[in-house]
Structure 1
Amino acid sequence: MAPAASRRRARVAIIGSGFSGIAAAIALKKRGIEDFTIFEQSPGLGGTWWHNRYPGAEVDLESHIYSFSFERYDWSRTHAGWQELQGYLEHVARKWDLHRHILFNEKVENVTWSDPNHDYVLSTESGVDHGRFTAVVSAVGFLNIPLYPPFAREQTDYQGALCHTSRWIDGLDMTGKSIGVVGTGSSAVQVVTEAEKMGSEVKIFQLEPNWILPKGSRDFTENERKLNRLAPVYAWRRFKLYTGYDMRQYRASHARSDGRTNRIKREQSLAFMQRELGDRPDLMELVTPTFAYEARRTVVSDTYYAALKSPKVTLVPHGVKGLTRTGAVDANGDEHDLDIIILATGFDAANYLGNYRVTGENGADLHTQWEGEPEAFLGTMIPGFPNFFMMYGPNTNSIPLVSFYEAQADFTASLIARAAKKGKTKISIRRSAFLIYNDWLQDALRKTVWATTRNYFQAGSGKIVSQWPFSATAYITLTKVLRRPAVKLDN
């Protein structure tokens, strides 16, 4: 028993101040827990939307659904750009008085559990003693460690500007420049559109093409914005979007090759390709994927195919194998002179919590326990690591993301509050619940198209570690139904 800890009120550390960190903080406030500190390694809040500031950066989901259900906003576009999303998060943080809880430029390095005290100590880069915390909420997500290709991992002779999309060089001007874009994923298609407008030439280095659907992104009209300011209209539009995504993902219809949603979306993608590039059979051949629809992240863009047809744009059907002083060498051995090289190469997605170390009961190291295959109960809790919760953890990547954040925040805050109310000092997931849940989930995931090809959803072993295969409602229901039988509170 930990008598000193049992009499102490909840004191919580939240790591990260993006969407999920803000969701966790507000959920704690709603439960009456005000003693929490948010550790943010960057100079400002926002997480993804603080770092991803490249030209054209925009969310793939509609603004009304990529926002908190309890915080409306006067959105200017159907799909918000990074500046507007950053503004929204600042607005929410101010309204809920979160800034006084945030420590900026404070990078967490270690999270260590104390067996005698039943609490955690966090060590940070600054070396400041932050005291002890009864619980820790990790809100760092999983798309946060930029993945650099081999040719860009060490010092090179390249004299131009080289940057990853999530580490954009402040003030970098593409006007009149020869630009190389490495990759063809979601961030790549956005930056290509802007590069085509501004640059003198754009070369896209493609390893493999992706399935693409039109996005339907546009500015709202003034009349639409007036209507959106009405609470019932706003709620109705959000509800329609939520229900639409829920129906598409019912019984993993979107992620099974025989699923109705999967078949419909594949046909729509092919029709879009034909409509945009039907007069360019050379490009059609280069951009048609050979893997199953949805087996990798499907890209949404209204403008990418049109940009490909620009005389300024060249689609190079090879990756980059090296850099020269003046540009890049592709896998075919051809050299390309480039003023700017943009790495749209994604993230080390399977490396959950890769920015810091977590030590649990009996000195157990979380990454050693995972052995390269991250897993958790509902993506939030791991046996042997009591009072430690994850937001957007393993196997919770799905649509609509913010609905998942809210469910995870409520799950976490409710358990922390219940433990405090009952005078309990230790919140643990039952190992049996953890094993049964993950066996069931992996069995479902093996039947999806995600298991048919290599993608960033998988660990090195091929195990799918990021995706949730069903609807948001199914997940939210489980967080409510399972929280009491699966979790135990002890002293």
Structure 2
Amino acid sequence: MYPQNKNSDLPVAIIGSGFSGLAAAISLKKKGIQNFTIFEQEAGLGGTWFNNRYPGAEVDLESHIYSFSFEPYDWTRNYATQQELLEYLNHVARKWDVNSHIKFNEKVDTVTWSDAEKSYRITTASGAGHGPFCAVISAVGFLNLPLLPPFARGNTPFLGDQCHTSRWPEGLTLNAKRVGILGTGSSAVQVIDEAVRDAASVKIFQIEPNWLLPKGARDFTQAERLQHRFKPVQWWKRFKLYAGYDMRSYGSAHARKEGHSNRSRTKRSLAYLQASLADRPDLLKLSTPAFPFEARRTVISDTYYDNLKSPKVELIPFAVTSLTEKGAVDASGKEHELDLIVYATGFDAANYLGNYKVKGEGGADLHATWNGEPEALLGLMVPGFPNFFMMYGPNTNSVPLVSFYEAQADFATTLISKMKRSGAKTISVKPQMFRRFNAWLQAKLAKTVWGSTTNYFQTRTGKVVSQWPFSASAYIMATKLARRLAVDIQ
């Protein structure tokens, strides 16, 4: 019999109910831990796929790999839409009885460690206090703080509609409107595809073009869906996708100029660009990136280049600098009259956990500790913040994402389970292992293209804080080793 203490009987807190939050909740249940609470700031679960409801929203990873390994699904498309992904997540939550653990409309403001009690207390935006909790798992991701240009913050003179892609208002349509879209990234190209169909006109404001690859998005045939219901077939499809991503990332080959997969994908992207826009040399020039392939998130789309040639569309090679009552003024000084402005301007990605505060041992503030440059052991733990785990934390952005979530959930819940069984009170990462890991990781990242241009992977100093440079299998193995070698349970 292990000795017990009050701490070991306390519940676990999970912040967020998207993919990673559900992964953590289900992993706790699998380990026999039913005493946990999920704090969700929105009215429904789903995280990214609850918030990102803009027209045309869909995933950029194949449906069979962008799903839990333990929960196959009867997908209708090879790249699921936002609506289908949200249906899937709700299906998973119902099956595993996760909903009963969720407090909706409860935005976490502070997470505070007590040195005396060896536990956390949580305060939410309503002012309510919650806890104590023996451990906290943050599952808020890092693409959750919309980034708006300065002229779009607060009150603006523009009299039409305007919104960020991740905050699309209910009932807002593109129908018959003069639409301005700021950005040419993944969300932008999806909105553009819908706007070309429904809007009166579309103006795309481009600061720099992005690298593109064709997507091959399509509906599954009825025969394919019947085959996929046979679990070995679905397992094999998922395995092939996983192995493909693993091989692409082996040795950081996807993120180094000299890497085989980077070179081959660069050739594919250039061929796609030239074949698509050969008849429009003006657009070809404007759409050719000046930075290395993969230095920013590569966009995948079957329609973007064709949409540029639509008579409805105008590609404007300038940023918007200000708004007027009637529309937007670009950097050349030209005013564009618009009815709707869509900010496909991304997120404040380097600001990890930027929507709440975390206090650790001795009252230490996590954001002050990071000082603008987030880092963690495998994105999961930081010294001085015991029993606090991050899902999709610093330097864990890679594909296939859900495989990373499952590994992170297993890391956190295995340690929590061990702490509860042993009667221990704290789980801490060893400072020396933390420092050695991050020094090694930054040395590897320095060899990639990610530091060669400005992107959301970096802090203001240029440090790459979001990317994992190797394969998912390498990461999964590292979490298993770290659990044994880099963590103290006392």
Query: How many residues get paired?
Result: 488
Q: Distance in 2 between matches of 1:148 and 1:5?
A: 48
Counterpart position of 2:106: 106
Q: Contact 2:8–2:424 at 8 Å: present in 1 too?
A: no
Q: Contact 1:62–1:79 at 8 Å: present in 2 too?
A: yes
Write out aligned runs for 1:32-43 (5 A).
32-43=32-43
Write out aligned runs for 1:167-246 (5 A).
167-246=167-246
Q: Distance in 1 between matches of 2:383 and 2:469?
A: 23
Write out aligned runs for 1:145-184 (5 A).
145-184=145-184
SS of equivalent residue, structure 2 residue 130: coil
Instruction: Kindly provide the amino acid, as one letter, of the partner of residue 382 in structure 1.
Output: V
Counterpart position of 2:407: 407
Asked if 1:318 is matched to 2:311, the reply is no
Instruction: Kindly provide the amino acid, as one letter, of the partner of residue 298 in structure 1.
Output: T
Counterpart position of 1:260: 260
Asked if 1:373 is matched to 2:369, the reply is no
Q: Distance in 2 between matches of 1:425 and 1:7?
A: 6
% identity of equivalent residues = 64
Deviation of 1:127 (Å) = 2.3
Q: Contact 1:65–1:241 at 8 Å: present in 2 too?
A: yes
Write out aligned runs for 1:322-471 (5 A).
322-471=322-471
Counterpart position of 1:127: 127
Instruction: Kindly provide the amino acid, as one letter, of the partner of residue 475 in structure 2.
Output: Y
Per-residue CA deviations over 1:290-340 (Å, capped at 9, x if unaligned) read 000000110000011110000000000000000010100001000100000
Q: CA RMSD in A?
A: 0.9
Per-residue CA deviations over 1:408-443 (Å, capped at 9, x if unaligned) read 000000000001111100000000110111111100
TM-score normalised by length of structure 1: 0.98
Moved over 4 A (4+): 3-7
Q: Distance in 2 between matches of 1:173 and 1:116?
A: 54
Per-residue CA deviations over 1:274-294 (Å, capped at 9, x if unaligned) read 111111110000000000000
Q: Distance in 2 between matches of 1:214 and 1:164?
A: 25
Q: Distance in 1 between matches of 2:47 and 2:183?
A: 22
Q: Distance in 1 between matches of 2:8 and 2:249?
A: 43
Instruction: Kindly provide the amino acid, as one letter, of the partner of residue 266 in structure 2.
Output: R
Instruction: Kindly provide the amino acid, as one letter, of the partner of residue 171 in structure 2.
Output: G
Write out aligned runs for 1:479-490 (5 A).
479-490=479-490
Deviation of 1:173 (Å) = 1.6
Counterpart position of 1:77: 77
Deviation of 1:347 (Å) = 0.1
Deviation of 1:125 (Å) = 1.2
Q: Distance in 2 between matches of 1:434 and 1:129?
A: 32
Instruction: Kindly provide the amino acid, as one letter, of the partner of residue 280 in structure 1.
Output: R
Q: Contact 1:118–1:426 at 8 Å: present in 2 too?
A: yes
SS of equivalent residue, structure 1 residue 435: helix
TM-score normalised by length of structure 2: 0.99
Counterpart position of 2:16: 16
Deviation of 1:129 (Å) = 3.1
Larger deviation: 9-18 or 31-40?
Answer: 9-18
SS of equivalent residue, structure 1 residue 358: strand
Per-residue CA deviations over 1:97-119 (Å, capped at 9, x if unaligned) read 00000000000000000000000
Counterpart position of 1:248: 248
Q: Distance in 2 between matches of 1:228 and 1:10?
A: 42
Q: Distance in 2 between matches of 1:8 and 1:134?
A: 7
Counterpart position of 1:46: 46
SS of equivalent residue, structure 2 residue 447: coil
Q: Distance in 2 between matches of 1:283 and 1:70?
A: 45
Q: Distance in 2 between matches of 1:81 and 1:315?
A: 26
Deviation of 1:174 (Å) = 1.0
The runs of 5 or more residues in structure 1 that have no matched partner are none
Q: Distance in 2 between matches of 1:262 and 1:367?
A: 34
Deviation of 1:7 (Å) = 5.6
Q: Contact 1:10–1:33 at 8 Å: present in 2 too?
A: no
Deviation of 1:451 (Å) = 1.2
Counterpart position of 1:64: 64
Q: Distance in 2 between matches of 1:394 and 1:445?
A: 13
Q: Contact 2:396–2:468 at 8 Å: present in 1 too?
A: yes
Q: Contact 1:383–1:428 at 8 Å: present in 2 too?
A: yes
Counterpart position of 1:95: 95
Q: Distance in 1 between matches of 2:158 and 2:313?
A: 22
Q: Distance in 1 between matches of 2:175 and 2:385?
A: 51
Per-residue CA deviations over 1:199-220 (Å, capped at 9, x if unaligned) read 0100000000000000111000
SS of equivalent residue, structure 1 residue 464: coil
Q: Distance in 2 between matches of 1:134 and 1:211?
A: 46
Q: Distance in 1 between matches of 2:194 and 2:66?
A: 23
SS of equivalent residue, structure 1 residue 131: strand
Instruction: Kindly provide the amino acid, as one letter, of the partner of residue 292 in structure 2.
Output: A
Q: Distance in 1 between matches of 2:340 and 2:363?
A: 47
Instruction: Kindly provide the amino acid, as one letter, of the partner of residue 397 in structure 2.
Output: N
The runs of 5 or more residues in structure 2 that have no matched partner are none
Per-residue CA deviations over 1:130-181 (Å, capped at 9, x if unaligned) read 2210000000000000000011012111110000000001101211110000
Deviation of 1:63 (Å) = 0.1
SS of equivalent residue, structure 1 residue 399: coil
Q: Distance in 2 between matches of 1:156 and 1:120?
A: 41
